[in-house]
């Protein structure tokens, strides 16, 4: 028998959800069409109908620890078929933003990342930090001269344009390692709290490792994403961005390992490496995959806006950061190849600011979904909560006689 539940509405939370893209929340009249058409909703305790009413009632404590908000891939099939135009897909998106804010510490940063008025401050912090570092190291591009000491040997550099003439590579590496450690610690704290909250609500039937292996396979093939009906092209865009990030991560790790560790055993040439170098090739392919994926996602998003589907500032903040990282990195490489030193140093500076922002703000931005969604998927799999059997669903709403499958 269902136990009585004392409702303690949080009206600020309702206002926040409405202000975060869930402005149609109050239109829901609980018909459950959304849960029926959702291709990812499990048969037991399906979403997003229950999240709609919980959000209307302001049940923040239930919603922020609800793994189901992370099982949603924002395909918007539910919004397409909702007879009231309540756009449950957008509400789920807003709930994920509130969950990230709840688990990321300090919450003051999380609130600023989600607030358009704080954008100038968020850009100014890395812009000033990196400018000060450049000034302090006193190595503007003509400052160091054409030689460099490596392992006690003085190496004569050629005349090509090199990033360390603006700022030494070790300075950049130390800054990014410290920023990365900060991001990892914010994630670790948030994920541990989230896992504990989920564990208190459901019992696990499978070990963490087997569940994690299944989830990694699912993510690698984006198998859940493929189930979306309305937004099929979003699947390709997301796949491009995902594998672009993976390739760039491998490239950065190889360069880091080559310069600092492999160099102790064998000689590894200093960067920049030639275009035909396999690591460089992988990095360039990753950059292209990232930009193509972003193009598809943005095109899809703009088309949705034409269909009156809300797109929040939170989404655009992440897209803007990733575009700036990808575009500034590739443009810097092109102008360096063309020998335009002045433009190269400006683009490299913008690239550093963008990469630092991506590192530092990731635990508070929409990109944090990578971590929280993976955690929720693992917990879900470990609890034996299976997705809905893939059966065709016929939806007949006013003006719509389309078959969703
Ligand atoms: S389909 Fe729309 S009105 Fe019906 S329960 Fe879902 S959100 Fe509410
Ligand atoms: S946006 Fe897609 S995945 Fe999310 S609840 Fe709606 S139908 Fe399901």
Kindly list the structural domains of the chain, giving each domain's residue range(s) and its CATH number in brackets, ordered by start. Answer: 11-103 (1.10.1060.10), 107-382 (no CATH)
For ligand 2, whether the C-beta of 229 sits within 6 Å is no
Kindly tell me if the per-residue pLDDT of 48 is higher than 90: yes
Reported as a pLDDT band with limits 50, 70 and 90, residue 184 is very high
- Ligand 2 centre distance from Cα of residue 277 (Å): 42
As a whole number of angstroms, the longest Cα–Cα distance in the chain is 79
Reported as a pLDDT band with limits 50, 70 and 90, residue 400 is very low
State the pairing for strand pair 153-156/147-150.
antiparallel
Listed range (125-129, 232-236, 238-242, 282-286) with the worst mean pLDDT = 232-236
Phi first, then psi: what are they for 74, rounded to 5°?
60, 35
pTM for the predicted model, two decimal places:
0.79
User: Residue 53: nearest ligand to its CA?
Assistant: 1
CA angle 376, 93, 403 (to 5 degrees): 95
Q: State the Cα–Cα distance between residues 3 and 374, nearest whole angstrom.
A: 30
Atom 2 of ligand 2, residue of closest alpha carbon: 75
Check residue 254 and give its pLDDT.
83
Q: State the Cα–Cα distance between residues 126 and 133, nearest whole angstrom.
A: 10
Kindly tell me if the per-residue pLDDT of 50 is higher than 70: yes
Check residue 391 and give its pLDDT.
44
Question: Which amino acids bring their CB within 6 angstroms of ligand 1?
Answer: 28-34, 49, 52, 82, 84, 86, 88
Atom 4 of ligand 1, residue of closest alpha carbon: 31
Higher pLDDT, 126 or 309: 126
Mean pLDDT value across residues 11-23:
90
- Ligand 1 centre distance from Cα of residue 390 (Å): 21
- Ligand 2 centre distance from Cα of residue 87 (Å): 10
Higher pLDDT, 348 or 136: 348
Q: Which of 370, 312, 372 is nearest to 102 (CA)?
A: 372
Check residue 134 and give its pLDDT.
84
Reported as a pLDDT band with limits 50, 70 and 90, residue 235 is confident
């Amino acid at each position: 028998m269902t136990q009585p539940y004392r409702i303690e509405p949080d009206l600020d939370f309702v206002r926040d959800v409405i202000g975060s893209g869930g402005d149609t929340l109050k239109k829901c009249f609980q018909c459950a069409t959304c849960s029926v058409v959702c291709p990812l909703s499990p048969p037991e305790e399906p979403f997003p109908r229950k999240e709609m009413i919980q959000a209307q009632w302001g049940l923040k404590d239930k919603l922020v620890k609800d793994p189901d908000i992370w099982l949603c891939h924002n395909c918007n099939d539910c919004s397409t078929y909702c007879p009231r135009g309540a756009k449950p897909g957008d509400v789920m998106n807003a709930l994920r933003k509130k969950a990230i804010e709840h688990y990321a510490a300090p919450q003051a940063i999380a609130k600023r990342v989600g607030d358009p008025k704080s954008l100038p401050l968020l850009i100014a912090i890395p812009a000033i930090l990196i400018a000060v570092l450049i000034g302090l190291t006193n190595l503007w591009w003509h400052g160091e001269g054409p030689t460099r000491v490596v392992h006690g040997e003085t190496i004569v550099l050629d005349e090509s344009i090199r990033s360390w003439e603006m700022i030494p590579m070790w300075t950049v590496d130390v800054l990014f390692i410290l920023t990365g450690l900060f991001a990892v610690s914010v994630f670790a704290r948030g994920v541990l709290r989230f896992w504990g909250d989920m564990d208190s609500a459901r019992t696990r039937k499978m070990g963490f490792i087997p569940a994690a292996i299944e989830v990694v396979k699912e993510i690698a093939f984006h198998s859940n994403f493929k189930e979306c009906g309305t937004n099929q092209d979003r699947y390709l865009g997301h796949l491009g961005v995902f594998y672009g990030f993976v390739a760039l991560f491998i490239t950065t790790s190889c360069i880091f390992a080559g310069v600092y560790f492999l160099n102790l055993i064998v000689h590894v040439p200093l960067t920049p490496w030639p275009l035909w170098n396999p690591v460089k090739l992988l990095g360039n392919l990753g950059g292209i995959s990232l930009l193509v994926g972003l193009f598809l996602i943005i095109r899809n998003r703009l088309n949705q806006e034409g269909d009156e589907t809300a797109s929040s500032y939170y989404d655009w903040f992440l897209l803007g950061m990733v575009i700036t990282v990808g575009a500034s990195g590739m443009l810097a490489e092109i102008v360096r190849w063309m020998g335009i030193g002045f433009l190269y140093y400006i683009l490299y500076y913008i690239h550093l600011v963008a990469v630092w922002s991506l590192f530092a703000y990731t635990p508070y931005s929409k990109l944090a979904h990578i971590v929280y969604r993976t955690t929720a998927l693992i917990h879900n799999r470990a609890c034996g909560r299976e997705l809905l059997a893939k059966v065709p669903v016929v939806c007949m709403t006013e003006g719509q006689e389309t078959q969703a499958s």
